[in-house]
Amino acid sequence: MPLDYDPFDQAVRNDPLPVYKRLRDEAPAYYMEQYDSWALSRFQDIWDVCGTDALSNSKGAAPAQILTKDQPVVPMINVLDAPEHTKLRSAVRTLFLPRNMRAIEPEVRRIANDLLDQIDGRDEFDAIGDFAARLSVTVACMAIGLPIEDGPMLTDWVQRFFAHDPDSQGFAPEGSAALQELVDYCTEKIKERRRNPVESREALSAVATFEFDGRHYEDAEAGSHLSMLVIGGSETFPKVLASGLRRLWEHPDQRAALRADPSGVPDAFNEILRYDMPTQFLGRTITRDIEIHGQTMKKDQGLIFLYASANRDEREFENPDEFDVQRRPQRILSFGAGAHQCLGTHVARMEGKVCLEAILARFPDYELDLERATRFKTEFVQGFESLPFRPNTG
Ligand code: HEM
């Protein structure tokens, strides 16, 4: 069968891994004529190209921004280029460093246990809606400086933003409306912080006071940048944790070993990130010609990085389709690479450690009901939207 890859194709959305393997083997630099864009699928290629300065994010990074070009580009940190990007990143980056995560870990553990206390005793709960999403939005609020009680409202906006029609491309109008509500909310918070400046180690203050080229951002612009932190901080982690609960449930021997020796949990979370990366791909615009595999990717063409494919590349990982919590890979691509690598890497790793430890300690023999789980199956995001979890504590 000829290789014909279109990320929006329904069969690809339903099961992308087989076509990723064919792309890696047969066409590692694949040209998508209909979008005048390229797809890279091998680990090393993505790693190398992410590290060049031949890319721009200013025309967007989301699939529909790069490919169909029918998605508006909202000013957020992920669509800035250097030098503004470098400066804004360094203004907020320090807030998310490992030492700061170690400092808030006990508080996050307390939050995780409080949430589990609330659901303990129930026959079943939703591992995402009742636990992981609530935890990640609470941690995001703490790090950003937003009221924790606003968490459910923020989760609702972020979920509506992502819940786009599985049959259409890009975000639905409903999603864009939810994003606008989130940006408006963040803009109000920026205005408040500017009216009442406080010395704090919170992203809200860092963005409110940020200055580039001698100018502060307009309120709405700063609110938009802050929204990206809310989205990044609350959206992806629950899907990763839910996939991890699924894989550990499918491999009870590995689950039991982790329960017996929780020191393996950080590596297990790394394997979960590698195995089931929710974000299928992100894109860039090429700013100068790049030669790769005998082909030229030209200036102004689009380029997508198939991260979820790279994480299953047999050139990088031995038996990549095997889930193995003992694996110790040197690197994975679940947080991207290069200038736009995820700012929340250490937040996510700390959350993963805390949540897995708490769940395994309390519900070591949990059961899942995959039949009733609901899933995202879009060109952009794969993974659980809800996951019925039975504590099974007898
Ligand atoms: C398991 C959870 C997470 C995963 C898998 C994840 C993954 C990613 C990926 C793949 C990117 C894009 C890299 C690229 O453009 O190539 C990214 C960017 C980003 N993430 Fe995360 N993320 C997670 C959690 C978080 C958290 C907790 C935060 C915030 C506290 C966050 C904030 C961001 C931001 C702000 C960016 C844009 C960075 C930039 O453009 O400079 N993420 N993330």
pLDDT tens, 354-368? 999 999 999 999 999
Q: What is the CATH number of domain 10-390?
A: 1.10.630.10
Categorize the per-residue pLDDT at 74 as very low, low, confident or very high, splitting at 50, 70 and 90: confident
For the chain, give the percent of residues with pLDDT over 70: 98
pLDDT at 354: 98
Residue 392: predicted pLDDT: 86
pLDDT digits (tens, 9 = 90+) for 9-53: 989 999 999 999 999 999 999 999 999 999 999 999 999 999 999
Tell which residue, 347, 386, 355, has the closest CA to residue 368. 386
Mean pLDDT of the chain: 94
Q: Note the pLDDT tens digit of each residue in 205-230.
A: 999 999 999 999 999 999 999 999 99
CA dihedral sign of residues 288, 291, 297, 298: positive
> What spacing in Å lies between the alpha carbon of 120 and ligand 1's midpoint?
31
pTM: 0.96
350 CA distance to ligand 1 centroid (A)? 14
Query: What pLDDT digit, counting tens, does each position of 122-159 carry?
Result: 999 999 999 999 999 999 999 999 999 999 999 999 98
Is any ligand 1 atom within 6 A of the Cβ of residue 229? yes
pLDDT value at residue 166: 63
Q: Is 230 in the pocket of ligand 1 (CB under 6 A)?
A: no
Euclidean distance between the first and final Cα of the chain, in Å? 51
Question: Which amino acid, 284?
Answer: R
Asked if residue 343 has its Cβ within 6 Å of ligand 1, the reply is yes
Best residue among 162, 335, 353 to mutate for probing ligand 1's pocket (most ligand atoms within 8 Å of CB) is: 335
**Strand locations in the chain (E):** 29-32, 37-40, 55-56, 125-126, 211-212, 215-216, 282-286, 290-292, 295-297, 302-305, 367-368, 374-377, 382-386, 388-390
Domain positions in the chain are 10-390
- Mutation probe of ligand 1 site: the residue of 342, 354, 382 with most atoms within 8 A of C-beta: 342
The answer to whether the beta carbons of residues 290 and 49 sit under 8 Å apart is yes
Instruction: Calculate mean pLDDT across residues 175-181.
Output: 90
Mean pLDDT of 226-235: 95
- Find out whether the beta carbon of 309 lies less than 6 Å from any atom of ligand 1: no
Q: Does the structure show a pLDDT above 80 at 254?
A: yes
Report the pLDDT value the prediction gives residue 209, as an integer from 0 to 100.
95
295 C-alpha vs ligand 1 centroid, how far in Å?
30
Whose CA is closest to atom 6 on ligand 1?
335
Each residue's pLDDT tens digit, 98-112: 999 999 999 999 999
Please indicate whether residue 207, judged by its CB atom, sits closer than 6 Å to ligand 1: no
Average pLDDT over residues 187-193: 97
Q: Strand pairing of 367-368 and 125-126?
A: unpaired
* Mean per-residue pLDDT, 342-355: 97
Ligand 1 close to Cβ of residue 240 (< 6 A):
yes
- 358 Cβ closer than 6 Å to some ligand 1 atom: no
Q: Is the CB of 303 under 6 A from ligand 1?
A: no
> Could you tell me if the CB of 283 is within 6 A of ligand 1?
no
Ligand 1 pocket residue status of 143, Cβ below 6 Å: yes
Nearest atom in ligand 1 to 80's CA: 40
In tens, the pLDDT along 298-345 reads 999 999 999 999 999 999 999 999 999 999 999 999 999 999 999 999
Residue nearest to atom 17 of ligand 1 (CA): 342
Residue nearest to atom 13 of ligand 1 (CA): 336
Buried b (16+ CB within 10 A) or exposed e, 342-372: bbbbbbbbbbbbbbbbbbbeebbebebeeee
Ligand 1: nearest atom to the Cα of 239: 1
Place of tokens 């992203």: 203
Residue 292 has pLDDT above 90, yes or no: yes
